[in-house]
């Protein structure tokens, strides 16, 4: 079935432009309510969280209307991180959790992510059923079965307490100066509160959301401002979150930036040394650097690659009983603590490594030398299939032949934007540039564009 609404991580797009309209959100809410009510659960309850985008108010109201029209009671959490919805959905005995966020995207975008009663993101099959209900229409509940809505004032504090319990018992952060960049997003209160309560000297960034400035020159997608301030303020560590706080990037005391692969390498090595890396295997996506794979192999550990998207990582972890997974982009999933990527939990685990080893962030944030990587994003018209063009197939075959034995090529359509991503890795920088440019230009030409 061709997916018209759902992408890699829920429904996403520009606010007030299809599919991210209030009308679609209302219909989606009704479909979600109908889908979970017919499962026979006695709860008939949904929780809704959101980040700090202006359009969040509109989508919160539309989803609430749709859910209550289908007979669901709605609990409104207000601005909370995406992982908070994953945690609080089962805690509050809800049938479904809804997060209104476009994650790391700019303020004009928004999205809707869905969690099941177990706190995990819905799988493709469930999303397909909900999409069909959304597009085909849902019969509303009888007048005496309409649901109620209630605002929950302490959702953030419930999440904070759960996050603090992920930090080693008996340890604190006294004497550690931590900069936290909240991207003017969902964790703008949570993250500074948790770090301060654990004893850190906290420097706050990105904690003045105005509805328009989420991810704007700050957070995990723009960490250089945080890096400059870490150096200027003499911080021991910088923790950069994205708009919904399910991603993290680490900045060491010298202002050097470490992404998800380096964090995963550190956590995998520590868990393996403690005998807690289940299956001696780390789950990560096809985008993770070849250097991470070599790092693990050198320690007798394995890398299980998945499709892009933290929910696919989590699905693989659950199927194999794994304890650690994540993405190069900074989604880090620790099965002992979270059901989805959680930037704050990952930041605390990095701090725990600093506390327990006595080593500075710069020693811990560089676990391996990454293989040089080149990525080009090629814009394509909606609905276009340039990868099927003979010229593109020929360019891909030539690139794979030239990289054989020395690197790898990955081409994939974005699940959230009208782009095709062309990525390659190789120790040969000249070859890397040639093959990526050749494939990207072939895709652009097949899409009716000039070179990119």
103 as an active site residue: the answer is yes
What is the dihedral sign for C-alpha 117, 122, 126, 132?
A: positive
Query: CA separation (Å) from 40 to 35, 116, 130, 225?
Result: 10, 14, 16, 50
Contact 77, 85 (CB under 8 A): yes
Give the number of C-alpha atoms closer than 13 A to the C-alpha of residue 301, restricted to the C-beta side: 28
pLDDT at position 405: 79
User: Rounded CA gap, 60 and 313, in Å?
Assistant: 28
pLDDT at position 345: 98
User: Rounded CA gap, 187 and 207, in Å?
Assistant: 8
Catalytic residue among 55, 101, 103, 288: 103
- The model's pTM: 0.92
Minimal CA–CA distance to 50: which of 29, 77, 24? 77
Q: Which helix (H) or strand (E) holds 295?
A: helix 290-297
Burial of 323 (0-12, 13-18, 19+ CB in 10 A): buried
The whole-number mean pLDDT for each consecutive block of 10 residues of the chain, a chain of 452 residues, reads 78 95 97 86 86 98 97 97 97 97 97 97 94 91 94 96 96 98 98 98 98 98 97 98 98 98 98 98 95 96 94 96 97 97 98 98 97 92 83 94 89 81 92 94 85 60
- b or e along 4-28 (b: 16 or more beta carbons within 10 Å of the residue's beta carbon)? ebbbbbbbbbbbeeebbbbebbbbb
Task: Quote the DSSP letter at residue 347.
Answer: H
Q: What are phi and psi of 399, to 5 degrees?
A: -65, -45
**Domains, the chain, ranges and CATH?**
6-153 (3.40.120.10), 260-342 (3.40.120.10), 373-446 (3.30.310.50)
Q: What are phi and psi of 3, to 5 degrees?
A: -85, 125
Contact 312, 285 (CB under 8 A): yes
Give the number of C-alpha atoms closer than 13 A to the C-alpha of residue 159, restricted to the C-beta side: 31
Helix (H, G, I), strand (E, B) or coil at 408: strand
User: Rounded CA gap, 339 and 317, in Å?
Assistant: 10
Compute how many other C-beta atoms are within 10 angstroms of the C-beta atom of residue 148.
11
Query: CA separation (Å) from 255 to 106, 186, 252?
Result: 25, 24, 5
Q: Tokens 């939990």: give the residue.
A: 345
Query: CA separation (Å) from 114 to 9, 200, 270, 361, 394?
Result: 9, 33, 32, 35, 39
Contact 66, 15 (CB under 8 A): no
Strands (E), 307-418: 324-326, 332-334, 373-379, 407-413
Task: Quote the DSSP letter at residue 432.
Answer: H
User: Rounded CA gap, 423 and 410, in Å?
Assistant: 5
User: Residue 86 corresponds to which tokens in the numbers above?
Assistant: 């994953």
User: Residue 162 corresponds to which tokens in the numbers above?
Assistant: 């759960």
Q: Collect contacts of 435-440 with beta carbons under 8 A, ≥24 apart.
A: 435/398, 435/399, 435/402, 435/403, 435/409, 436/374, 436/375, 436/376, 436/399, 437/376, 438/395, 438/398, 438/399, 439/392, 439/395, 439/396, 439/399, 439/409, 439/411, 440/376, 440/378
pLDDT at position 1: 46
Give the number of C-alpha atoms closer than 13 A to the C-alpha of residue 374, restricted to the C-beta side: 19
């Amino acid at each position: 079935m061709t997916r018209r609404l759902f992408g890699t991580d829920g429904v996403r797009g520009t606010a007030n432009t299809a599919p991210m309209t209030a009308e679609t959100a209302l219909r989606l809410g009704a479909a979600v309510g109908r889908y979970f009510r017919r499962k026979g659960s006695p709860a008939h309850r949904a929780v809704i969280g959101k980040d700090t985008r202006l359009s969040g108010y509109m989508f919160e109201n539309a989803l609430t209307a749709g859910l209550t029209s289908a007979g669901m009671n709605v609990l409104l959490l207000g601005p909370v991180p995406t992982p908070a919805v994953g945690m609080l959905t089962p805690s509050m005995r809800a049938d479904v959790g809804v997060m209104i966020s476009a994650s790391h995207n700019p303020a004009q975008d928004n999205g809707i992510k869905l969690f099941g009663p177990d706190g995990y993101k819905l799988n493709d099959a469930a999303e397909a059923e909900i999409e069909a209900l959304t597009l085909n229409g849902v019969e509303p509940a009888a007048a005496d079965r309409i649901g109620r809505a209630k605002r929950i004032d302490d959702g953030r504090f419930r999440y904070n307490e759960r996050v603090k319990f992920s930090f080693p018992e008996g340890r604190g952060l006294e004497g550690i100066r931590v900069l936290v960049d909240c991207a003017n997003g969902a964790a703008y209160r949570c993250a500074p509160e948790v770090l301060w309560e654990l004893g850190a000297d906290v420097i706050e960034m990105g904690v003045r959301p105005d509805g328009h400035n989420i991810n704007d020159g700050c957070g995990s997608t723009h960490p250089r401002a945080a890096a400059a301030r870490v150096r200027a303020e003499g911080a021991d560590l910088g923790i950069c979150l994205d708009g919904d706080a399910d991603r993290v990037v680490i900045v060491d005391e010298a202002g050097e930036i470490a992404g998800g692969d380096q964090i995963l390498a550190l956590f995998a090595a520590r868990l393996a040394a403690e005998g807690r890396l289940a299956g001696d295997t780390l789950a990560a996506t096809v985008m993770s650097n070849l250097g991470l794979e070599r790092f693990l192999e050198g320690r007798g550990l394995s890398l299980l690659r998945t499709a892009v998207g933290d929910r696919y990582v989590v699905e693989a972890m659950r199927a194999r009983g794994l304890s650690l997974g994540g993405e190069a982009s900074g989604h880090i999933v620790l099965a002992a603590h979270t059901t989805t990527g959680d930037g704050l939990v990952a930041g605390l685990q990095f701090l725990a490594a600093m506390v327990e080893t006595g080593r500075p962030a710069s020693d811990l944030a560089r676990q391996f030398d990454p293989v040089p990587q080149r990525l080009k994003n090629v814009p394509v018209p909606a609905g276009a299939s340039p990868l099927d063009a003979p010229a593109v197939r020929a360019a891909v075959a030539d690139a794979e032949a030239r990289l054989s034995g020395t690197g790898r090529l990955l081409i994939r359509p974005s699940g959230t934007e009208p782009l095709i991503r062309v990525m390659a890795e190789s120790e040969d920088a000249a070859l890397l540039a040639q093959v990526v440019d050749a494939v990207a230009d072939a895709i652009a030409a097949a899409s009716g564009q000039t070179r990119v």
